[in-house]
Every structure is written in structure tokens, then in C-alpha cells.
């Protein structure tokens, strides 16, 4: 039975990955930030009483800003596989908190690498790199596209990315960077644009909200479905040799297209509800992200199945259901027909 350690287990990807690995009979340990309130709602359905001898999910307080506890964790848990997903992951916030973002997202990765090296634990590492690192680089972006980061978040991720390669080459660590394009789900953080839009659609339908304030509607992203992406993280660590991969759908859509699709699916006219708020504009924007996923398809046989229209439907259906409203259900059908037997909750 393999042992995995996940940083960022309370986040969107961490929660799906924990679910996926538990279904594969892994023992899963997760790093959780201490807070004065509970914030484990994404993994509450996976909770197991640690006193139960059959328990396979264990949570540990710790912080990427604290190297001592990270190192202790490696001695204690001795993981076979480490999935490093913890980060200050919000691009807009990184402009307001550049040094904090550099500390947690950039240096936090180095603290983890050092914890592995100093503890001497032999494990494989997955690092959550990001398509945001491509920044101003022309699309489509692949493994060979040079990074041109345009935010403190992206610059911190570039640092983390290269440090992972450095430890791979310098210390022989089995470490892989997954350069993921945007991936979304009903568990996406509420302030990222897709979830902000789908939540607003449900609130407007329920009569609780009239207006949705957004920033740049022209930016284009390659949006995929998060559960598919966590499966690939695992597959990367099962390879015979470590390698970095780009993964995305290969399609690109504007924020405006997402808005149109989400409002339209719920029978609303977005023009009656969406307004610009300058606060959501960024000092520098990444205008166009579109993956070239040909390498991952060739080497790992991976290809995104859930495409833009189904992703929008999955997210809007989930939001309407949570609001106690009738949902068209097309997203649910796309989801049910999918390949996600391990998912216990969308
Ligand atoms: P997310 O939902 O924002 O989750 C981030 C996780 O990091 C949360 O569990 C958060 O804990 C944890 N965290 C934040 N600061 C921490 C600290 N100081 N110490 C320990 N843990 C900390 O992000 P996500 O969408 O799941 O993304 C997972 C990873 O992939 C991130 O590294 C992100 O940057 C990267 N990524 C995401 C995408 C995407 O489209 N989703 C694309 C490319 C790369 P709390 O719950 O306590 O906040
Ligand atoms: O949803 P977003 O905040 O995601 P963004 O900036 O692309 O970053 C996400 O994807 C990255 C991968 O490329 C990850 F590394 C990162 O951790 C995160 O998960 O914004 C998407 C687009 C941007 O162009 C933004 O300017 O939507 C635009 N946008 C327009 N109005 C907005 C809003 N974004 C947000 N968050 N809120 C708005 O009101």
C-alpha cells in the first residue's frame, strides 16, 4: 500500500486528488494550515476517524512558510509520493501581496525540496507548475515555450519550477513539473472567474443578486475539468523517469464566452447583469493561454474529455442544485457518462 503526502489538500485539486488516491487504496496524508475556523469542507466527505485502525486519511497542521514542521512531516510520514499543490494561487491577489506570494508559492517549494533532501526519504515529487508562467509567450504553449511571467504569482511559480528541475538534476530526485492550464470544477475557489460567474448565475436565478461585477472579459483561457487533471498528476509519478508535461485541452475561450455560455444555459441574458469593476483588472494581464497538449497525448495517451461547453454545464448545474433550484441537468449527464468512477461528490 503506497503512502502519499499532499500539500494543499484543502484546495480544489488537493481534494480531488485525495479522493482519487484513496480510491486507489493509498494512505493519504495532508498538510493543513492552522486556522481558527474549520476550512476542510472540500474534504469533509472523505473524513475518517484517525482512531479507526482502518483509517487511511490523516491531516497534519503545517505551513509552507515553516520548514521545521515540513521536515518533521517527512520523518513521520515517509511518503512514497508527494504532491505539492499548496500555494497562494490567486493571480490578482499576488499583485497586492507579492512578497507573501513569493514566500509561500516560491520559497515554500524550496522548503519542501529541502525537507525531502535533509530527511533522506526516498520519494517521488509532483510540483504544480502553471500555464500562467507562459505569460506573454505566443500560443499555443508547449513544454518548449520559454516562460514570460506577467505576475508575482507567475514569477514565483517559475522559481519553484526551476528549483524542482535543479533538485532533479543536482540530487537525482524523481521530481516532475506539471504545467497545468486552468482547470475548474464545482469545487473551484469562489473568487476565480469561472466559479464567480456560475455562483452569480445561481444567485441571480434565485433572486438573491442582480449584478455581477467582472474585470477583463477579453482574456482567453484553456479551461479544463479538474478531476481529469489530478488523474494525470498521479500518472506522471508512475513513469519510469521523471519528466515535465504541459496539460490542457488545446482549446481557448474568452471570459466573455464563458459568461455567455453560463448565463445562456440557465436561460438568462448576461447583458442585463454583467458590469465592469476596474478593481478586477490586473496591472499586467495574460491575454491568451492555449495548450499544445500533443506531447502528453503522445507519451501518456492523455487527452481532455470534458470540453468547454460540458464544463460550463457541470458547474452551472452544481450551483443551481446547491441553491435548491431546478437544473437543466445536461452537465450532470455529461458528468455521469464520464470516466470518474472514483468521484464520490462533484
Ligand atoms: P487552491 O484551491 O487555491 O488551493 C491551494 C491550497 O494551498 C489550499 O489547500 C490552501 O490552503 C493551500 N495553502 C495556501 N497557502 C498555504 C500555506 N502557506 N501553507 C500550506 N498550504 C497553503 O488551488 P488549486 O486550484 O487547487 O491549485 C492547486 C495548485 O495548482 C496550486 O499550486 C496552484 O497554484 C496550481 N495551479 C492551479 C491551476 C488551476 O487552474 N486550478 C492551474 C495551474 C496551476 P487553505 O485551504 O488553508 O487556503
Ligand atoms: O479565474 P482567474 O482568476 O484565473 P487565472 O488568473 O487564469 O489563474 C488561474 O489559472 C492559473 C493557470 O493558468 C493558475 F496557475 C492560477 O493558480 C489560477 O488557478 O482569471 C481568469 C481570467 C483572467 O484573465 C482575469 O483577468 O479572468 C479574468 N477576469 C475577469 N474578471 C477575472 C475577473 N478573474 C477573476 N478572478 N475575477 C474577476 O472578476
Domains (range + CATH), the chain: 3-183+224-247 (3.40.50.720), 185-222+251-288+305-336 (3.90.25.10)
Whether 337 has a pLDDT exceeding 90, the answer reads no
Location of C-alpha cell 514565483: 156
Number of residues assigned to the chain: 346
Count CB neighbours of 118 within 10 A: 13
Instruction: Report the nearest atom of ligand 2 relative to the CA of 216.
Output: 30
pLDDT digits (tens, 9 = 90+) for 86-117: 999 999 999 999 999 999 999 999 999 999 99
3-state secondary structure of 41: coil
pLDDT digits (tens, 9 = 90+) for 178-202: 999 999 999 999 999 999 999 999 9
* Cα 212 to ligand 2 centre (Å): 16
Residue of minimum CA distance from atom 27 in ligand 1: 13
pLDDT band at 154 (very low <50, low <70, confident <90, very high): very high
* 10 within ligand 1 shell (Cβ under 6 A): yes
Q: What is the mean predicted confidence (pLDDT) over 298-302? A: 95
Q: Which residues pair with 181 in a beta bridge?
A: none
Whole-prediction pTM value?
0.98
* Cα 279 to ligand 2 centre (Å): 13
d(C-alpha 147, C-alpha 131), whole Å: 9
C-beta of residue 116 within 8 angstroms of C-beta of residue 82: yes
CA dihedral 78, 80, 82, 83 (to 10 degrees): -140
Whether 287 has a pLDDT exceeding 90, the answer reads yes
d(C-alpha 262, C-alpha 292), whole Å: 26
Amino acid at each position: 500500500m503506497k503512502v502519499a503526502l499532499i500539500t494543499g489538500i484543502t484546495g480544489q485539486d488537493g481534494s480531488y486528488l485525495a479522493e482519487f488516491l484513496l480510491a486507489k487504496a493509498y494512505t493519504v496524508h495532508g498538510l493543513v494550515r492552522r486556522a481558527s475556523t474549520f476550512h476542510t469542507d472540500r474534504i469533509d466527505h472523505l473524513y475518517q476517524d484517525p482512531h479507526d485502525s482502518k483509517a487511511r486519511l490523516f491531516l497534519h497542521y503545517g505551513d509552507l512558510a515553516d520548514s521545521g514542521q515540513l521536515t518533521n512531516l517527512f520523518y513521520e510520514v515517509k511518503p512514497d509520493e508527494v504532491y505539492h499543490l499548496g500555494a497562494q494561487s490567486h493571480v490578482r491577489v499576488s499583485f497586492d501581496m507579492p512578497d507573501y506570494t513569493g514566500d509561500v508559492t516560491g520559497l515554500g517549494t524550496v522548503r519542501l525540496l529541502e525537507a525531502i533532501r535533509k530527511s533522506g526519504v526516498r520519494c517521488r515529487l509532483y510540483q504544480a507548475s502553471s500555464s500562467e508562467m507562459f505569460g506573454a509567450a505566443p500560443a499555443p504553449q508547449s513544454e518548449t515555450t520559454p516562460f514570460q511571467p506577467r505576475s508575482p504569482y507567475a514569477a514565483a511559480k517559475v522559481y519553484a519550477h526551476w528549483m524542482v528541475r535543479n533538485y532533479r538534476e543536482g540530487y537525482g530526485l524523481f521530481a516532475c513539473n506539471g504545467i497545468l492550464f486552468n482547470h475548474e470544477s464545482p469545487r473551484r475557489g469562489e473568487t476565480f472567474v469561472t466559479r464567480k460567474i456560475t455562483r452569480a448565475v445561481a444567485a441571480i436565478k434565485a433572486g438573491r443578486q442582480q449584478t455581477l461585477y467582472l474585470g477583463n472579459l477579453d482574456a482567453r483561457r484553456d479551461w479544463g475539468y479538474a478531476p481529469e487533471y489530478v488523474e494525470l498528476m498521479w500518472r506522471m509519478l508512475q513513469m519510469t523517469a521523471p519528466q515535465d508535461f504541459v496539460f490542457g485541452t488545446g482549446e481557448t475561450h474568452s471570459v466573455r464566452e464563458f459568461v455567455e455560455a453560463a448565463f445562456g444555459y440557465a436561460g438568462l441574458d448576461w447583458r442585463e447583469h454583467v458590469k465592469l469593476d476596474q478593481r478586477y483588472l490586473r496591472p499586467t494581464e495574460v491575454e491568451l493561454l492555449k495548450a499544445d497538449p500533443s506531447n502528453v497525448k503522445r507519451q501518456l495517451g492523455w487527452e481532455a474529455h470534458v470540453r468547454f461547453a460540458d464544463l460550463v454545464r457541470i458547474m452551472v448545474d452544481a450551483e443551481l442544485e446547491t441553491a435548491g433550484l431546478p437544473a437543466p441537468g445536461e452537465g450532470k449527464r455529461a458528468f455521469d457518462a464520464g470516466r470518474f468512477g472514483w468521484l464520490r461528490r462533484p
